[in-house]
Chain A
Amino acid sequence: MVRKVSITLLLAQLPIFLLIFLFLSFGVVVNPISYLINASGHISIIFLFITLLSSRIIFLKENLDRRILGLTSFFYLIMHILFYFFDNNFILSYMIDDLIHLSFIQIGYFAFILFLPLVFSSNLKAKTILGGLWSSLHKMIYLIVALSLIHYYQVIKADFIYMYFYLLLSLFVLVKSSNIQKHGS
């Protein structure tokens, strides 16, 4: 248990070190805030997928803690939103303006709001209280993934390569889930 937690926590921090390394290798990051918004968004999505895969791939299941993976995704989502606030100089009227007019912003907030009950019910106590309801509630992760991918799709200009990668991952997750259901494990 302790081992699983520490491996997961290590994995959770990895992107931060990677980003620092990349920042140093770039010498000057020409548009750092835009870079950080993109990076944190992608990292958050990737951790959502790792969370889903961690219950489907035995090797991951044995070595990673699913709840911490989900919380890690949420952590990078918070960073993503904070960088976005920073990008808007923390001026509320700018962000309200975005929220009214831009559908990818609306979808992004929607995914964030759906994430909140999962975060607050991630402790063992909530799991005991909620009982059977807990696992139905946590199925919402599929909706969050779908919304995140729509959110990302809406900001792509012409190069869909990462989108294809995410769709492939989604397909893999779905195939794996149907396998699990078939074999009843």
Chain B
Amino acid sequence: MIRKYNLDKENKVTDQRLFTRRREIIAGILSAPFVLNSPNLFAKEEKYLPFKKDMEFSTNEQTNTIKQITSYNNFYELGSGKRDPMINADKLITENWKLIVDGLVENPLTLDVEDLIKNYALEERIYRLRCVEAWSMVIPWIGFELNQLIKKSRPLSSAKYVAFESILDKDNLPGQRRNTLNWPYREGLRLDEAMNPLTIISLGLYGRVLPNQNGSPIRLVVPWKYGFKSIKSIVKISLVSEEPRTSWNEQSPSEYGFYSNVNPNVSHPRWSQKRERRIGEFRKRDTEMFNGYAKFVSYMYSNMDLKKFF
């Protein structure tokens, strides 16, 4: 009887090894959220790029942190949630990337990323980025002006627009297995917009190659337009005569125009564009015309009704 009682009790005693580590175990459970949150900042390689600082176009506003820039992204190829692109960053395969420049050009080009780094003097451009969802960031891009690349391709006089196309890789990109958008992602600019010195091809940010979730290895940055115009992970740039099709415009033509210039006076049909939340700031701020770049770009739209050509 007594013996049986002891056995029962014995079963209820915590294993000595577990008991001595009890504090570690509890700490482990409590810290799980922090450990699971291993930041995927520059996951691939810490590759630095050579660059000089630009003084002409860059803002001196406080830049957003690398953590903010790399963990709050709209990159539907890697998922539609804001953190999905960071979580799925390694699903974007960037090895042996080729960029094609074709269409109405005398000199079609096929380039890899090394060619771009070698042939173009990279600059740091600190730009404001205003998302159509009414938030904004300040990002130190590394890149070069798109007009250099276009000049190199020697466009024909019939070329009036520039069409951009992103990677199509349904096997690897989880977002492309769903038809949230018509893949591949496409964007476009008028030729004069593409030639504007503000428009850059970016290969990096914060001095290093682009993290995958930010559109590695080659992306466009057009700072006076809503963020979705700044197409990521570009594989093809074509010079064309007609206004090219663009992904968000195809998805909802009445809401996302071809121009999509940042304009506080023309609201998205469903939400206001008058104000924005600068990521990290406590209070909302007013959105500026052309995202504050009016002095560089407004001349291109002087004869246009921006309510009609939104």
Contact = CB atoms under 8 A, between A and B. Distances in A.
A and B associate in one complex: yes
Given A30-B279, A34-B277, A158 B76 contact: yes
A33 B276 CA distance: 13
Interface string B242-286: 000000000100000000000000010011101101010001100
B270 A87 contact: no
A33 B37 contact: no
A155 interface: yes
Given A25-B33, A25-B34, A101-B267, A31 B284 contact: no
Contacts of B283: 89
A158 B275 contact: no
Contacts of B80: 158-159, 161
Given A21-B33, A98-B272, A158-B180, A31 B267 contact: no
B270 A154 contact: yes
Interface in B278-310: 279, 283-284
Contacts of A155: 270-271
A153 B242 CA distance: 34
A130 interface: no
Contacts of B82: 30-31
Nearest to A98: B272
A21 B32 CA distance: 10
B36 interface: yes
B71 interface: yes
A27 B270 contact: no
Interface residues of B, number: 30
Interface string A29-68: 0110110000000000000000000000000000000000
Contact of B272 (A28, A31, A101, A159): A101
Contacts of B34: 24-25, 27
A88 interface: yes
Contacts of A30: 67-68, 71-72, 82, 279
Contacts of A87: 277, 284
Contacts of A94: 275, 284
Nearest to B70: A30
Contacts of B135: 31, 34
Interface string A65-98: 0000000000000000000000111000010011
Contacts of B271: 102, 104, 155
A30 B251 CA distance: 27
A165 interface: no
B12 to A, nearest CB: 28
Contacts of A97: 272, 274
B39 A27 contact: yes
Interface string A1-36: 000000000000000000001101111101101100
Interface string A87-130: 11100001001100111100000000000000000000000000
B149 interface: no
B180 A31 contact: no
A130 to B, nearest CB: 38
Count chain B CB atoms within 10 A of each CB in A89, A101, A157, A161 and give the residue with the most.
Answer: A157
Interface of B: 32-34, 36-37, 39, 65, 67-68, 71-72, 76, 80, 82-83, 133, 135, 180-181, 251, 267, 270-272, 274-275, 277, 279, 283-284
5 contacts: A28-B65, A31-B72, A89-B283, A159-B76, A161-B80
Question: Which 6 residue pairs are nearest across A and B when measured between Cβ atoms?
Answer: A25-B33, A30-B72, A159-B80, A24-B33, A158-B180, A27-B37
